[in-house]
Amino acid sequence: MEPHLKILHTVSETVSRTLDVEEILKTALEALTHVTGHEIASVHLVATDGVTLELRAERGLSQQMREVNRALTVGEGIIGRVASSGATVVVRDVMGSPDLLPSAQAIVRRDRIRGFVCVPIAARGRMLGTLSLGRQTNDPFDEGEVTLLEATAQQIAIALDNARLSSELVHAEKLSAVGELASGVAHEINNPLTTILGLAQLLLSRADVTPAVHERIALMADEASRAAGIVQNLLMFARHYPPERRPCSLVDAVQRVIALKSYQLELDKVRVTTELDHAPIVWADENQMQQVLLNLVQNAHQAMARQEGERVLTVRLRPRERHVAIEVLDSGPGIPANLLSRIFDPFFTTKPPGEGSGLGLSVSYGIVGQHGGRLYAENRPEGGAMFVVELPTGERA
């Protein structure tokens, strides 16, 4: 039993000193593959789409086996079944398993893999991935080895959860610091802007203003209004008081936002499709939810307006366990991979100058967080981006 304890100590010591997930996975697999010296090991993590299992670390896999395992589907094959059921699977002879993927059969036979065990990686009731161990000998995996693997998976789950929480904390600290600055700046700018806009509107109402001057004053009023809108976003971004929650229909909110944007979308030849499944009422601030949706739809619209080809905006409502998901998909160019981690940062924007303040997504992120939900983005395999808002169902304090 001593080697098993040593492995667990190695993994837990790594978890306690670093938040680097890649280092933790590498350490765990290196430790595990020294149990008998014959094992192969792999870790798959659930991708942001919730259905794909991505190979994130491995030891001892042949090149062909690595390719087969690079991307799996939850619910399919031995590993996919563990990810969907959350239950450990131990197989004495993997070639005899009816769940072995057809694409892997010839490679498993050639690599002489016999025993196989796969355990789930889960934290806080959420499936994060799987940890697998295989061997080329006839010795079956005993109870102690399976327990070791499950304990290691638990350590990996702790590491993944810690890394996620740390990332969210850093983001929250950024929002708090910039929010305090934004509040002060917004109030200072708001007063002169109100004066400029009021005077411009008074001048526009005068009969003695020539058409040429009227046009210039109207432009000035429009620009002042645009600046006032940015200030309003700053104040929304900086506010710390809780949302005013009431029973809110997300179907109604989506339909109102689409109606509001319909003319501009039609003008830019954007085809709109909606998939509004019956969704339970959420306890939310209706105006804030509409603001979030408007920001996401506006973001998708601007992304598609800059490129040729078919432009399709899709808004979906998906009831899920204990929450509702709002998905906003576009057929635009997608988000550069190196920028995905920054798109919710305040004042960060990929849009050309004059098209965005870099606050819309930050404001939306803050609003969704205040509602106990989650906002994230990912690139679609077929092209374009998808933003997902997850909101808890039921009445919340």
Answer yes or no: do 107 and 255 share one domain.
no
Instruction: Write out the DSSP string of 264-277.
Output: HHHHTTEEEEEEE-
Q: Is residue 103 part of a domain?
A: yes
Residues 130 and 262 occupy one common structural domain: no
Reply yes or no on whether the pLDDT at 241 is more than 60.
no
pLDDT range class, residue 166, cuts 50, 70, 90: low
- Whether residue 291 is found in the same domain as residue 387: yes
More confident residue, 182 or 150: 150
Question: In the chain, pLDDT over 90 holds for what percent of residues?
Answer: 22
Nearest to 100 by CA among 58, 60, 134, 150: 134
CA dist 173 and 179 (Å) reads 10
Whichever domain contains 142, its CATH number is 3.30.450.40
327 in any annotated domain: yes
Q: What confidence category does residue 340 fall into, taking pLDDT thresholds of 50, 70 and 90?
A: confident
Domain coverage including residue 69:
2-165
Buried residues in 95-126 as b, exposed as e (16+ CB within 10 A): eebeebbeebeebbeebebbbbbbbbbbbeee
Q: β-strands 311-320, 323-330: how paired?
A: antiparallel
Work out the pLDDT band at 178, boundaries 50, 70, 90: low
Of 85-99, 283-297, 338-352, 381-395, the range with the lowest mean pLDDT is: 338-352
Distance from chain centroid for Cα 207: 54
Q: Number of C-alpha atoms within 13 angstroms, CB side, residue 14?
A: 23
The span from the CA of 123 to the CA of 86, in Å, is 11
Across 130-156, average pLDDT? 84
Q: In degrees, to the nearest 5, what angle opens at C-alpha 314 toward C-alphas 319 and 265?
A: 140
Q: Work out the average pLDDT over 16-24.
A: 67
Residue 175 resides in a domain: no
Give the helix/strand (H/E) hosting 282.
strand 282-284
pLDDT at position 66 over 70: yes
Which phi and psi (to 5°) does residue 7 adopt? -60, -50
Q: Does 261 lie in the same domain as 136?
A: no
Report yes or no on 377 lying in a domain.
Answer: yes
Instruction: Give the three-state DSSP class for 357.
Output: coil
Most confident of 12-21, 57-66, 134-143, 273-282: 57-66
Distance separating alpha carbons of residues 332 and 329, to the nearest angstrom: 9
397 in the same domain as 258: yes
Same domain? For 12 and 134 the reply is yes
* Locus of tokens 């366990």: 321
What's the N-to-C CA distance of the chain in angstroms? 48
H or E element at residue 288: helix 286-305
294 and 158 both lie in a single domain:
no
What pLDDT, on a 0 to 100 scale, did the predictor assign at position 1?
Answer: 44
Residue 42, beta-bridge partner list: 58, 132
Flag whether 195 is in a domain.
no
73 pLDDT exceeds 60? Answer: yes
Instruction: Tell me what pLDDT residue 264 has.
Output: 83
Binned at pLDDT 50, 70 and 90, residue 45 comes out as very high
| pLDDT tens digits along 364-373 | 888 888 888 8
pLDDT at 353 over 50: no
The conformation of residue 394, written as its DSSP 8-state character, comes to B
Over range 94-105, report the average pLDDT: 89
Across residues 16-36, what is the average pLDDT?
A: 70
pTM to 2 decimals? 0.48
Of the chain, the percentage scoring pLDDT greater than 70 comes to 78
Q: Are residues 260 and 354 in the same domain?
A: yes
Contact 313, 273 (CB under 8 A): yes
Q: How many alpha carbons fall within 13 Å on the CB side of residue 7?
A: 25
- Predicted local distance difference test score (pLDDT) of residue 47: 87
* 23 and 132 inside one domain: yes
- The answer to the question of residue 356 being in a domain is yes
Helices (H), 33-69: 63-69
Q: Among the three residues 126, 145, 165, which one is the final residue of a domain in this structure?
A: 165
Which residues contact residue 284 at a Cβ distance below 8 angstroms, ignoring those fewer than 6 apart?
Answer: 243, 245, 246, 248, 371, 391
> DSSP label at 241?
S
Q: For residue 20, which phi and psi values (nearest 5 degrees)? A: -75, 105
User: pLDDT of 106-136, one tens digit each?
Assistant: 999 898 888 899 999 988 678 899 999 888 8
Residues 277 and 136 placed together within one structural domain of the fold: no
23 versus 332: which is more confidently predicted? 332
Does 384 reside within a domain?
yes
User: How would you class 385 by CB atoms within 10 Å of its CB: exposed for 0-12, middle for 13-18, buried for 19 or more?
Assistant: buried
CATH of the domain at 277: 3.30.565.10
Mean pLDDT for all residues in the chain = 80
- For residue 355, is pLDDT > 80? no
Residue where one domain finishes, among candidates 143, 165, 187: 165
Question: Does residue 313 register a pLDDT over 50?
Answer: yes
| Same-domain status, 133 and 9 | yes
Q: How many domains does the chain have?
A: 2
Does residue 377 share a domain with residue 285? yes
Q: What is the pLDDT of residue 161?
A: 72
Instruction: Please give the pLDDT value at position 316.
Output: 92
Domain boundary residue among 138, 165, 192?
165
Answer whether residue 176 is part of any domain: no
Over residues 161-190, mean pLDDT = 63
Residue whose C-alpha is closest to residue 101's, from 84, 77, 85, 79 = 77
